[in-house]
Amino acid sequence: MLNVGLTHFLVISVALFSLGIYGVITRKNAVMVLMGIELILNSANINFIAFARYGNFGLQGQIMALFVIVLAAAEAAIALAIVINIYKTISNINVDEMDTLRD
Amino acid sequence: MTTYDIIFYLFAIVTVVSAFLVVTNRNIVHSAFFLLFTLFGVAGLYVLLAADFVAIVQLIVYVGGILILLLFGVMLTNKITNVEIKTGTIHALPASIVLGLFAGAIGAIVLNTNWKVLNISGSEPTTAALGNMLINEYALIFELLGILLLIALIGAASMARR
């Protein structure tokens, strides 16, 4: 059990995924929700790379991890633009107070 | 316990503990800095999994780009009067119960599954092989991702300036 194998990396990934979901559903601030999403994407990446290392897939897992990192960058840029627009409209970014589409 | 195992447990503890602090800390700026340690820990795990190129990309893109972007988001969306930028939580108790059960279930599945694992040999540099795959088999996806990133950045800039 102490010798590190595939299972250890998968357990780390499960922990990161659960903490990310917890951050997404409990934090009020929209930027904190984004940080939770980054944790979730990182846990998926750990899974991809662990299976690329221990499975018989060559380097395809690492390619997928690179694509996920690119998509995370695009997602963070768009989401922050939306958050800044919401701040201009309702002067705060608490997700439980966003209940209108326009002012 | 070999050196590999000790380094793994070190990175694992850094990653999970700072991820826990990210989602429980009340100060957003502190959360952003704990996210830095989480991303460093994940990059270390990538190195342990013989993914050297992905680890460096993780450091450059996440730590150098996304984290700075998140910090800008924090700074631009608060009336800064002092360093304390607090935020509240909602539904913390039901969320922790449900996610505890969820993590237990998935963890039990992971631990009880008989994974078919290859005998791994030593690790080689992956950068050249990844580059070959990106411009041969994955060339179309690579170009599409470039266009997607360009569109996303133009859209973000035009949305944020409106």
Which residues, including other chains, have CB under 8 Å from residue B80's CB and lie 6 or more apart?
Answer: none
CB atoms within 10 A of CB B26: 13
Whether the per-residue pLDDT at A2 is higher than 70: the answer is no
Best of A2, A84, A98, A102 to disrupt the B interface (most B CBs within 10 Å) is A84
Who among A2, A39, A56 is closest to B19 (CB)? A39
This prediction's pTM: 0.91
Q: Write out chain A residues lying below 8 Å of B91, CB-based.
A: 25-26
Per-residue confidence (pLDDT) for residue A4, from 0 to 100: 83
B81 φ/ψ angles, rounded to the nearest 5 degrees: -115, -30
Is A78 in contact with B156 (CB distance < 8 Å)? yes
CB atoms within 10 A of CB B38: 27
B49 φ/ψ angles, rounded to the nearest 5 degrees: -90, 15
Mean pLDDT of B8-22: 95
Mean pLDDT of chain A: 90
Which residues, including other chains, have CB under 8 Å from residue B53's CB and lie 6 or more apart?
Answer: A62, B126, B127, B130
Is A12 in contact with A46 (CB distance < 8 Å)? yes
Per-residue confidence (pLDDT) for residue B153, from 0 to 100: 92
Best of B84, B99, B111 to disrupt the A interface (most A CBs within 10 Å) is B99
Per-residue pLDDT tens over the stretch B97-150: 999 999 999 999 999 988 888 877 677 888 999 999 999 999 999 999 999 999
**Would you state the torsion angle of the CA atoms of residues A42, A67, B117, A53, taken in this order, to the nearest 10 degrees?**
-90
Per-residue pLDDT tens over the stretch A69-96: 999 999 999 999 999 888 888 888 888 8
Mean pLDDT of B4-8: 92
Per-residue pLDDT tens over the stretch B65-97: 899 999 888 888 877 665 566 777 788 889 899
Per-residue confidence (pLDDT) for residue A57, from 0 to 100: 82
